Chain A
Amino acid sequence: MWRDLKLVLTIRCEQSSRLISDECERRLNPIERFAAALHRVNCRWCRRFRSQVAVLQALAEQPPPAPAQLSPAARQRITRALSERS
């Protein structure tokens, strides 16, 4: 009880950001949800962080638009290594 109350009263950005990250992984308990939401009412930076984490989460749903390719620099480096050792 005291721990719950303490979380609600003392939560700062660092802990709020941890809860924002955790809510991608698990369902927060009601006290955590309340404390984090209450903190965000007054904290635009945590609101912003939450929306940016949502963009990072979307990476899983959207595959890259084109297949990855070796950069010209990497290709050159590998060509050199092959020439030296083959």
Chain B
Amino acid sequence: MPERDDDPHQWLSEHGDALYAYALRHTGRQQLSEDLVQDTLLAAWKHRATFRGDATRRTWLTAILRRRLIDEMRREKSRGGLPVLQPAAKWFDDRQRWDPKPGQWGANPDSALESREFWDVLHRCMDGLPPDQAEAFNLRTLRDRPTEECCKKLGVSTSNLGVRLHRARLALRRCLELRWFQPAATRKKTKPAASAQVAEA
């Protein structure tokens, strides 16, 4: 093993982004992914003697990260049966009407998807979801896995998955509106009177 490669700071600078992107793809959550990268590097340092050099450093680090991801998924699955679902009712008044009402997302909201910053905001919004909802939305929507596979991985019924996705969509819709779409609209209309609805953001 070359001496100069045996430095966790160097692992961070050379492989940190790749590990983070890998974790993010599997969790959809920014904070959790950052924590997993940190845990991976610390574990790798602790067990540095096990690196034989027959794989690349990145493959070795990714294998450690993958084990951490599996552990994390197991922990979430074991929490799956607990009633951690938030009531959808918080998005509706007592007559089951929208409260707050969905705001405008601008003329061409699809174009947001082309912005890296939008995706960062999305992953931060995912951090704010209860883990069971974030996991469901990440698997089913971001990673486009079939319903049966999602139910099996999460250990829930189809109808429970439907509840989680509904709540995730309600919460993400609101979060993206406050953190991305409304601030963008405010920036565009700088001169005329500021919109009253932005005050909430």
Interfacial residues, chain A to chain B (CB-CB below 8 A): 12-15, 17-18, 21-22, 24-26, 45-46, 48-49, 51-53, 55-60, 62, 64-71, 74-75, 77-79, 81-83, 85-86
Contacts and interface: CB of A to CB of B under 8 A. Distances in A.
Contact of A12 (B96, B112, B166): B96
Nearest to A49: B102
A18 B168 CA distance: 11
Contact of A82 (B41, B147, B170): B41
Nearest to B28: A59
16 contacts: A21-B166, A48-B102, A52-B105, A56-B172, A56-B173, A60-B144, A64-B116, A64-B119, A65-B115, A65-B116, A68-B116, A74-B34, A78-B16, A78-B37, A83-B9, A85-B45
Interface in B153-201: 158, 161-162, 165-166, 169-170, 172-173
B122 A13 contact: no
Interface string B66-92: 000000000000000000000011011
A51 to B, nearest CB: 8
Contacts of B120: 68, 71
Contact of B173 (A18, A53, A82): A53
Contacts of B41: 78, 82
Max chain A Cβ within 10 angstroms of own Cβ: one of B95, B96, B147: B96
B142 A82 contact: no
Nearest to A80: B38
Nearest to B137: A56
Given A17-B170, A52-B173, A81-B42, A25 B97 contact: no
A60 B113 CA distance: 10
A55 B102 CA distance: 14
A12 B119 CA distance: 32
Contacts of A15: 96
A86 B8 contact: yes
Given A65-B115, A78-B38, A82-B42, A52 B102 contact: yes
A59 B37 contact: no
B37 A70 contact: yes
A79 B97 contact: no
A46 B91 CA distance: 12
Contacts of A53: 169, 173
Contacts of A77: 34, 38
B125 to A, nearest CB: 11
B92 A25 contact: no
A70 B105 contact: no
